[in-house]
Amino acid sequence: MILTVTLNTALDITYRVPSLRPHTAHRVSEVVERPGGKGLNVARVLAALGHEVTVTGFAGGATGRVVRDRLAGVPGVADALVPVAGATRRTVAVVDQRTGDTTQLNEPGPLVAPAEWAAFENVYEELLGSVAAVALCGSLPPGVPVGAYAGLVRTARAAGVPVLLDTSGEPLRRAVAARPDIIKPNADELAELTGAHEPLRAAQDARRRGARAVVASLGADGLLAHTPEGHWRATPPARVRGNPTGAGDSAVAGLLSGLAERLPWPSRLARAAALATATVLAPAAGEFDRATYEELVDRVSVTGGVSAA
């Protein structure tokens, strides 16, 4: 079993319009709703790969009920979300069908009370007793302490559960010092954390700050990994155009599944890069085509391996 944590769950709503133009009315050609937030996206990909996944975090209000109802229809995903009084947020993505560009609108999320946070911590600690790995994903809703992820990393380490962290800003900076097994920032998040804009140097710096391993998303250029065993670059066979929404979450699912299966780093990175690329190519944002992924995974170039210790 794998556990994913999404403290700021969402109902993701995607509108497709022929052409997005400011200051005008638009006719929407398609509307798609699904459970969202980074950890729920990761869980959906993990389940598609054949893993049993439990999701936890917060859900509340009418939107939270829709999220939980939709989760009940996802095979392989178990719901352990903690109820809150506030309403789960919505995220709205508007896809311009002419250009393929996406405009995103993200609500902040519900205000989490201290008693609700304490209830979540109890659920989280209990769940850790039966999982092979955990991912801590996404933003913090209002009311959750900025050092929350640092505490959750320490709890997982005390339970002997490897932990992957995918967040940004001050929550990332504080949690790195708690020594997560893997962090998965993009290039901008890594630069913000370290002040270094050259990815390899920034990854080395992030490891010095506490992360055991760093895997940085470099967009169309693939992934850079800096680990105790070595450092690698994973590059897709070709640059692709499409909707990048959810590609980072698919990469996290690839890394997390590889961590749970104890795969060597090159295999983890090839899986993560292939899943991210297959997600960009998929017609529906945040989904991936299994056949495309399986065709790509053996064609990802993984280079490096020099000891980084």
Phi, psi of 117 (to 5 degrees): -65, -40
> Three-class SS of residue 281?
helix
Closest CA to 2 of 253, 267, 289: 253
Angle (deg, nearest 10), helices 114-127 and 148-158: 30
As a whole number of angstroms, the distance between CA 232 and CA 214 comes to 11
Using the Cα atoms of residue 17, residue 275, residue 246 and residue 102 in order, give the sign of their dihedral: negative
Residues 6+ apart with CB under 8 A from 184: 164, 165, 166, 215, 216, 217, 248, 251, 252, 255
* Angle (CA) 252 72 39, round 5°: 20
Task: Name the catalytic one among 12, 249, 289, 298.
Answer: 249
In the 8-state DSSP scheme, what is residue 126? H
Residues 6+ apart with CB under 8 A from 255: 164, 182, 184, 215, 268, 269, 271, 272
Residues 6+ apart with CB under 8 A from 84: 58, 59, 60, 64, 110, 112, 113, 116
Distances (CA, A) of 102 to 23, 97, 113: 17, 9, 33
Annotation says 249 is catalytic: yes
Helix then strand then coil, in percent of the chain rounded to 5, is 40, 25, 35
Sheet holding 102-106, edge to edge: 30-36, 10-17, 89-96, 102-106
- State the catalytic residues: 249
